[in-house]
């Protein structure tokens, strides 16, 4: 892929995202979602590998179906209310359809099956875009329509997402699939709180983007895609391995790292909403994902395979990203002291 083509696709991604998050009209939001979908497809399939083509096809079919549901929901609401304003979603059936459509776009359970397969067939840089910037438009639509959403449906999908994200990631050896199930689990935490505190859901999303970006850039620098390759990183790149370990533990939500902050605030808000049982359930279910985070951190730091092959010794360190990784890792681990300020803002 030429640099000019890559620039066009990246600019189209930024255009589609900006169009969706800044529009008040359903047609403009739908157009932004479509631009995003069409722009990311060449980036997924640029390697011309059969797995990449399969991932692009799955992504296109899933996102096209979700976009059609978004358009159908907005048309149904406009038919009954006479207006196309995003914040005026009042028809009950439209709210239900929109909640399901955005769940498909985000990859919330039980509509999560496409996301691990697409991420597995994509390069690490494209996987970073799929896990971060491609989630922003659907999250923005959830934020703008949060007073009208079906809270019961969202809560059920959030709990199922947290459970499946942890459970299905236990036996994975491919790091991209593990990160995909990690994303599903984190989206469950955002979905469960967005109806009660939309700003807190956005804060959780921003911190998730910060930590996930650090993980993907570190993995891209050490050129590793599976656990067996990750085991050789400690002797070759100890600094990057230590950064990766800290960021993974932060993603797991262990105090006193940054990842503990959104979970702490979400549990506190759920308790205020008389949902202590739900908060307890989602906290216990997150222990499932803690296992594979700990396994990744263990493999990245203190484990070596018994028979190291020459293929495992081929490392390609991308030194210009080291400063960026260091900054992102520092922010991913040391933002917990600002929690009193964030609590007052929320």
pLDDT by residue (tens digit) across 8-42? 999 999 999 999 999 888 999 999 999 999 999 99
Is the pLDDT higher at 314 or at 166?
166
pLDDT at 219 exceeding the cut of 70: yes
| pLDDT in the model for residue 321 | 52
pLDDT at 212 exceeding the cut of 70: yes
pLDDT at 316 exceeding the cut of 50: no
| pLDDT in the model for residue 310 | 56
% of the chain at pLDDT higher than 90: 51
CA atoms of 211 and 209, how far apart (whole Å) = 6
| pLDDT in the model for residue 15 | 93
pLDDT at 261 exceeding the cut of 60: yes
Task: Burial-class residue 307 by CB neighbours within 10 Å (0-12, 13-18, 19+).
Answer: exposed
> CB under 8 Å, gap of 24 or more: what pairs does 317-321 form?
317/221, 317/222, 317/237, 317/240, 318/220, 318/221, 321/217, 321/220, 321/221
Q: How confident is the model at residue 319 (pLDDT cuts 50, 70, 90)?
A: very low
pLDDT at 344 exceeding the cut of 90: no
Q: Tally Cβ neighbours within 10 Å of residue 18.
A: 14
Task: Look up the pTM and report it.
Answer: 0.90
Report the SS3 class of residue 243: helix
CA atoms of 248 and 295, how far apart (whole Å) = 10
- DSSP letter (8 states) at residue 248: H
How many Cα neighbours within 13 Å face the side chain of 278?
24
Mean predicted confidence (pLDDT) in 126-151:
90
């Amino acid at each position: 892929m030429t640099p000019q083509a890559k620039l066009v696709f990246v600019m189209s991604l930024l255009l589609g995202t900006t169009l969706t998050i800044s529009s008040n009209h359903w047609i403009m939001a739908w157009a932004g979602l479509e631009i995003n979908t069409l722009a990311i497809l060449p980036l997924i399939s640029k390697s011309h590998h059969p797995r990449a083509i399969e991932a692009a096809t799955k992504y296109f079919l899933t996102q096209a179906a979700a976009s059609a549901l978004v358009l159908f929901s907005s048309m149904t609401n406009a038919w009954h209310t006479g207006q196309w304003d995003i914040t005026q979603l009042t028809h009950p059936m439209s709210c239900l359809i929109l909640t399901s459509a955005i769940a498909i776009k985000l990859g919330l359970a039980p509509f999560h099956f496409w996301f691990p397969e697409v991420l597995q067939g994509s390069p690490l840089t494209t996987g970073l875009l799929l896990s971060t910037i491609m989630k922003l438009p659907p999250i923005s639509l959830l934020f703008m329509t949060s007073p009208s959403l079906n809270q019961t449906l969202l809560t059920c999908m959030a709990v199922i997402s947290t459970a499946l994200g942890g459970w299905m990631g236990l036996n994975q050896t491919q790091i991209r699939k593990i990160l995909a199930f990690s994303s599903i689990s984190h989206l469950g935490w955002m979905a469960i709180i967005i109806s009660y505190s939309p700003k807190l859901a956005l804060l959780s999303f921003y911190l998730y983007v910060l930590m996930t970006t650090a993980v993907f850039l570190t993995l891209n620098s050490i050129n590793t895609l599976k656990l067996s390759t990750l085991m050789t990183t400690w002797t070759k790149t100890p600094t990057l391995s230590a950064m990766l370990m800290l960021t993974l533990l932060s993603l797991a939500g262990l105090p006193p790292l940054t990842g503990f902050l959104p979970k702490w605030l979400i549990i506190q808000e759920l308790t205020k909403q008389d949902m202590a049982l739900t908060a307890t359930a989602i906290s216990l279910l997150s222990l499932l994902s803690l296992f594979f985070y700990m396994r990744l951190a263990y493999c990245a730091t203190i484990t070596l395979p018994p028979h190291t092959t020459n293929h495992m010794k081929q490392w390609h360190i991308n030194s210009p990203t080291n400063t960026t990784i260091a900054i992102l890792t520092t922010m991913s681990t040391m933002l917990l002291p600002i929690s009193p300020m964030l609590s007052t803002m929320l």
